[in-house]
């Protein structure tokens, strides 16, 4: 029986390494010009959304989803200090907090599910988090996509 050496290709080896690397599933959605994400384990459901009830004086309201009252946080208003103009048909991403409370995050588009390698996810510096309006984000992922990069907070 002849034993032939298996040819090795660096690009093939790198591809296999990326396939076996641990990944995190994220629900990615757009708020203004930002791409934000939450871990799939935290998502209760995504539902069509029309409006939240509240005073309108701040970025928080309430919505009735299933048999629950969900606190809705308008991230666009919180981050950019204005409500988006073109929010025609929106979705509400309902997430569970560590204490079990449900929060709703409105978005103009249907969110997408992405698997991101853990090596692409980095902790944001505390100095950036304190000084930028994006203080709600703790990590950033930089993912190659169609000749450019996609930055997800």
Residue 115 structure tokens: 């698997």
pTM as predicted = 0.79
For 118, the 3-state DSSP assignment is helix
Residue 143 structure tokens: 């993912």
Tell me the average pLDDT of the chain.
Answer: 85
Is the pLDDT assigned to residue 7 strictly greater than 80?
no
d(C-alpha 109, C-alpha 84), whole Å: 13
First-to-final CA distance of the chain:
55
Neighbouring C-alpha atoms within 13 Å toward the C-beta of 2:
3
pLDDT in tens, 10-50: 555 555 555 688 999 999 999 988 999 999 999 999 999 98
What would you measure as the largest C-alpha separation in the chain, in angstroms? 80
The structural domains of the chain, with segments of one domain joined by +, span: 26-152
d(C-alpha 55, C-alpha 42), whole Å: 27
Give me the residue label for tokens 């169609």: 146
């Amino acid at each position: 029986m002849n034993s032939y050496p298996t040819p090795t290709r660096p690009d093939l080896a790198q591809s296999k390494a990326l396939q076996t690397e641990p990944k995190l599933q994220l629900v990615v959605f757009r708020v203004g010009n930002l791409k934000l994400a939450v871990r799939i384990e935290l998502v209760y459901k995504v539902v069509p959304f029309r409006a939240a009830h509240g005073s309108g004086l701040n970025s928080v309201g309430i919505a009735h989803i299933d048999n629950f009252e969900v606190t809705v946080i308008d991230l666009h208003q919180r981050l950019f200090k204005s409500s988006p103009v073109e929010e025609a048909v929106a979705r509400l991403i309902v997430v569970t907090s560590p204490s079990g409370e449900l929060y709703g995050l409105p978005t103009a588009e249907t969110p997408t599910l992405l698997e991101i390698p853990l090596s692409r996810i980095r902790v944001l510096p505390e100095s950036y988090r304190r000084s930028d309006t994006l203080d709600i984000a703790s990590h950033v992922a930089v993912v190659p996509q169609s000749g450019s990069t996609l930055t997800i907070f």
